[in-house]
Amino acid sequence: MKKSVILLILIGFSGCAFAEESGFTSFVYTDGDKVMDENGQVRFISFNIPCLHYNEDNLPFEKTNAWRLPSEFEIEDALEAIKQMGGQVVRIYTLSVARAGEGPETPRHILGPEKFNEEAFQALDMVLAVANRKGIRIIIPFIDNWKWWGGIEACAAFRGKGRDDFWKDAELIEDYKRMVSFVINRRNTVTGVKYRDDKAVFAWETGNELVCPHAWTAKVAAYIKSIDKNHLVMDGYHTTVLRKESIADENIDIVTTHHYSKNPRETIGQIKKSAALARGKKPYVVGEFGFVDTADVRSIIHAAVEEQTVGALIWSLRYRNRDGGFYWHSEPFGGDLFKAYHWPGFESGKAYDERNLVHLMRQKAFEIRNLPLPKVPVPAVPVLLDTDDAALMTWRGSAGAETYIVERAETAEGPWLVVGSNVSDAAVQYRTIFNDASVGIGKSYFYRVKAQNESGVSEASNVIGPVAVRHRTLVDEMQDLRYVHSYDGVLSVAEKQTRRFKEDGHRLAAQAGDSVVYKVDSEINSWKVYAFLPGKKTDLKFYVSGDGVKFEAVHPEKEVYYFGSGDYGYTVPVLYKVDRGDGKSRYLKIEFAKESQISRVEIRYGARPSEITSTHSPTGFIKGFSWGWTGRRGQYLGAAPVESMKKLADTGAGWVCVSFAGEMLKPNEPTIYWAETNPTMVTEDEIRRAISLARNNDLKVILKPVVNVRDGRG
């Protein structure tokens, strides 16, 4: 049955670290220029998954912060994809560092010298826990040379110093060592195992693409080896051909190169030269390569295998989103073509041959291990997320699933009717996945989904419902002009520069004076238009009509979700909406005042006026939990509330009601003992922390202050 609007359930603070069994029985170790483990020589063809522990791509239209910590579901999806593709090793990106001007809503790992964000590191804990379960090892670089995640520049800025000081300043080197010590000696809150004892760690990498003198590398590599005898150290120096000093350094176990030449012959030459330098001395890994077509990827992998490198890691893979669909990432240096890959490849990645590329990677991953290529497993059961609108359906998909079947019934037991077949969860970016356009107004339905691929169909998902149908909905994702009734001007579907448009891969682009008209079969009840504008002062104009001839201007509500141009030159996202129509219009006209782009149009139509009134809510459907009601001072602190809030968010809730209480002595004595005058009440700082935890998990917050009467009479 459908859940209540607000579920008043307390999520407890209990929950402690628990031991998880690992499939690994030994650490990896070197033997000359080879890497070995309990099963013999380790060789791999696999992926970089930069956001496995820390997501820079949370870009729904209404969000104003792209940074997000991953959930267990997301980490599971990523590493299950690698497992299905035959990968044994993945490389993540670095630890993030707070940059000047950032607020607490950006969950960085390193907040200052010896200041570490527990919530962020708990996501890395989960990465290692899942890696142990999946039998996949992780390369962990410590710090970034570049600005994207803060990197060395932000670390130096903590001390009022410049980025070049990072390599020679004694204080900054000590800061780096303390950071390394914190990570290596950390005890995993999920498994209870210290990182230095975790066999899922393939290697510590000194950093990502560090443009550093070898003297710095030698010093920090020696330090890492002095506090961790179990793990290998990889030199994070940025090069396409190996540095001889790195090969000679006794504290460096693995050497690596990165390659992004558009000429594959150049890359292959660099790999061969590096392999010759390392042969018989050090294991050599092609740590990053990419942004070339599938045939060139095949040639590069062939060279890496032929030259007896330990492995090659292409850039890069992104995973499924806990809110439905995938995370997306356009590569700034990918020629406005290449994007992060999704397994098992989709039509949305046709421009960069995603499907063939990821299956090539899978073929080569099993070949390098001397294993036959198995069938892709039948997908696991997906999870259908709750909704109160049949036009806004979404689900957590299954690794390896190509498409989905959506089924509908008028009772929870069936019989079931297929209302959507071959539905992709990678067709749109940061949107709901499916609109049931065949609903009957006034009816209620139950829904379930199944995942499918070349190997078969999963069992049915959970059932949601009843979903009451109050209207039909036209949803236009701008993939073509099929939903447009008429237009004036030269309209086009824009697909380039998607990062500037929050990764939206299909937008309706128009010039000043152009217009577009939508028509529905009965009166419009409400509508939304999602637009990207060149500046805050730009606007669209809107008109409605009953006959398509005479149009009247309408002035919608306007919400701006701009958070600055950032590192990628973001445009201005603006949502226009009318929550209640005039009861007679069937046409909506949109006119462009300047060159602009429309991302999505939703038009709800056909509802009776009484239904519009009774269902209107300025916040939309509220689904959530009360949290912390019995909490006393100090109980909002520590690790338990972090896990509690994550578990709450993982239920699919969108809201959390943070409850806390002051006291009166008696009903007729109105003095309220609050905050510091009440030693049992949580403090204001604790309440702020609860709000921060909620926001880190993308939960909207309701504050519920309560006054209790101490004698129990009120």
DSSP 577-626: EESS--SS--EEEEEESSSEEEEEEEEEE---HHHHHHH--TT----EEE
pTM of the model: 0.86
Distance (Å, rounded) from C-alpha 23 to C-alpha 307? Answer: 30
| 281-296 per-position pLDDT tens digit | 999 999 999 999 999 9
What confidence score (pLDDT) does residue 614 get? 40
Is residue 253's pLDDT more than 60?
Answer: yes
Distance (Å, rounded) from C-alpha 556 to C-alpha 559? Answer: 10
Q: What does the buried/exposed string (b/e) look like for 2-21 if buried means 16 or more CB atoms within 10 Å of the residue's CB?
A: eeeeeeeeebebeeebeeee
* C-alpha closest to that of 136 among 202, 48, 208, 228: 202
What confidence score (pLDDT) does residue 699 get? 83
What confidence score (pLDDT) does residue 381 get? 98
Q: Which H or E run includes 704?
A: strand 700-709
pLDDT (mean) for 635-642: 78
What confidence score (pLDDT) does residue 13 get? 27
Is residue 7's pLDDT more than 50?
Answer: no
pLDDT (mean) for 67-76: 98
Is residue 17's pLDDT more than 60?
Answer: no
pLDDT (mean) for 503-532: 97
| 441-461 per-position pLDDT tens digit | 999 999 999 999 999 999 999
pLDDT (mean) for 264-274: 98
Is residue 637's pLDDT more than 90?
Answer: no
Q: What are the residue boundaries of the structural domains of the chain, listed by start? A: 1-25+623-714, 32-368, 383-470, 476-606
Q: In the chain, what percentage of residues exceed pLDDT 70? A: 93
Q: Which two tokens stand for residue 355?
A: 């499907």
| 172-227 per-position pLDDT tens digit | 999 999 999 999 999 999 999 999 999 999 999 999 999 999 999 999 999 999 99
Same fold, 1-25+623-714 and 32-368: yes
CA torsion through residues 124, 128, 134, 138, sign: positive
What confidence score (pLDDT) does residue 620 get? 55
CB 458 within 8 A of CB 381: yes
pLDDT (mean) for 333-350: 96
Range with the poorest average pLDDT among 228-242, 531-545, 594-608, 621-635: 621-635
CA torsion through residues 205, 210, 213, 216, sign: negative
pLDDT (mean) for 273-279: 98
What confidence score (pLDDT) does residue 502 get? 97
* C-alpha closest to that of 258 among 308, 300, 218, 217: 300
What confidence score (pLDDT) does residue 16 get? 38
Q: Which two tokens stand for residue 694?
A: 């909620």
Is residue 271's pLDDT more than 60?
Answer: yes
pLDDT (mean) for 528-532: 98
What confidence score (pLDDT) does residue 20 get? 53
Burial class of residue 564 (count of CB atoms within 10 Å of its CB; 0-12, 13-18, 19+): exposed
The yes/no answer on whether domain 476-606 falls in CATH 2.60.120.260 is yes
Residue 214, SS3 per DSSP? helix
CB 91 within 8 A of CB 313: yes
Confidence of residue 641 (pLDDT cuts 50, 70, 90): confident
What confidence score (pLDDT) does residue 526 get? 97
| 82-134 per-position pLDDT tens digit | 999 999 999 999 999 999 989 888 999 999 999 999 999 999 999 999 999 99
Is residue 401's pLDDT more than 70?
Answer: yes
Q: Which H or E run includes 464?
A: strand 464-468
The class that CATH gives domain 383-470 is mainly beta
Confidence of residue 712 (pLDDT cuts 50, 70, 90): low
What confidence score (pLDDT) does residue 670 get? 67
Distance (Å, rounded) from C-alpha 431 to C-alpha 326? Answer: 10
Q: In the chain, what percentage of residues exceed pLDDT 90? A: 79
Is residue 10's pLDDT more than 70?
Answer: no
| 353-390 per-position pLDDT tens digit | 999 999 999 999 999 999 999 999 999 999 999 999 99
CATH superfamily of 32-368: Glycosidases (3.20.20.80)
CATH superfamily of 1-25+623-714: Glycosidases (3.20.20.80)
Is residue 160's pLDDT more than 60?
Answer: yes
